[in-house]
Amino acid sequence: MRQQIAAANWKMNLTLDQATRLLDEIVASPHHLQAHQKVILAVPFPYLALAKAKLSGKPNFFVAAQNCHTQSSGAFTGETSAEMLRSVGVEYVILGHSERREYFGESNAVLEEKVGMALTYGLTPVFCCGESLPVREAGTQNEYVENQLKESLFNLSEEQFLKLVIAYEPIWAIGTGKTASAAQAQEMHAHLRKVIAGRYGSGVADQIPVLYGGSVKGNNATELFSQPDVDGGLVGGASLVASDFEKIIEALK
């Protein structure tokens, strides 16, 4: 069975005291994860070492960074490299999040570099893709998201590609008042798997976890995760409340 993942993206939230309390609450909760189920916490850079320490000895729990640079070192003030992340024990890194694309102008070409760098240092990229409202309304979402994968990932070997996690973000359904249904999520996830199969074969496509990142909450996670091609969620706001995130973890199939 494919990996089933509940990934928390804290974004730029929480003070040190708040982060410590949330981690303590998560660690204190009983979890009965199966071998194919994982929880990933993508915390702000200042809290990476804290999260690693807090989650030590917690089976199937992992720490992720929210970004990395295209270079391993150099005169890039304010940036963090994949090599640095690996040196502090980080296992995963989110790349291509819609906010990074929109606010920081990250292109598919830049993300191709970042994915390669992450893999070079043994990090697992959680690669985000997804379309905006104008793209969805134009009915070209399939081609748009397909292009994101092709331009950033299809240079990878099969061995490298199998190390990825894909996260689909319907940007049009985040903070717009519009809602993506479970059926719409499944439709895009199935399309992504078809695109991957076209490049790497169905054997690879069937192994890649594809997460849903469109306002996953405790009250919709079970329906979303029950879809055959939805392998968990990349969770924003709901991951900042321990009780809400617990419900999402419990919804993993």
- Residue of 69, 97, 106, 112 marked catalytic: 97
Whole-number Å distance between alpha carbons of 209 and 238: 21
Of 26, 84, 76, give the one whose Cα is nearest residue 242: 26
Integer distance in angstroms from the first to the last C-alpha of the chain? 10
- Residue of 106, 112, 131, 169 marked catalytic: 169
Bridge partners of residue 210, in order along the sequence: 166
Q: Which helix (H) or strand (E) holds 54?
A: helix 48-55
Whole-number Å distance between alpha carbons of 170 and 235: 13
Of 21, 23, 28, give the one whose Cα is nearest residue 8: 23
Q: What angle do CA 87, 93, 99 make, to 5 degrees?
A: 135
Q: Which helix (H) or strand (E) holds 110?
A: helix 108-120
Whole-number Å distance between alpha carbons of 73 and 96: 20
Residue carrying the six token digits 């903070």: 175
Pairing of strands 37-42, 61-65: parallel
Rounded to the nearest 10 degrees, what angle do helices 16-28 and 242-250 cross at?
40
Biggest alpha carbon–alpha carbon distance for the chain: 48
Is 131 part of the annotated catalytic residue set? no
Is 69 part of the annotated catalytic residue set? no
Q: How many residues does the chain have?
A: 253
Which residues are marked as active site?
Answer: 97, 169
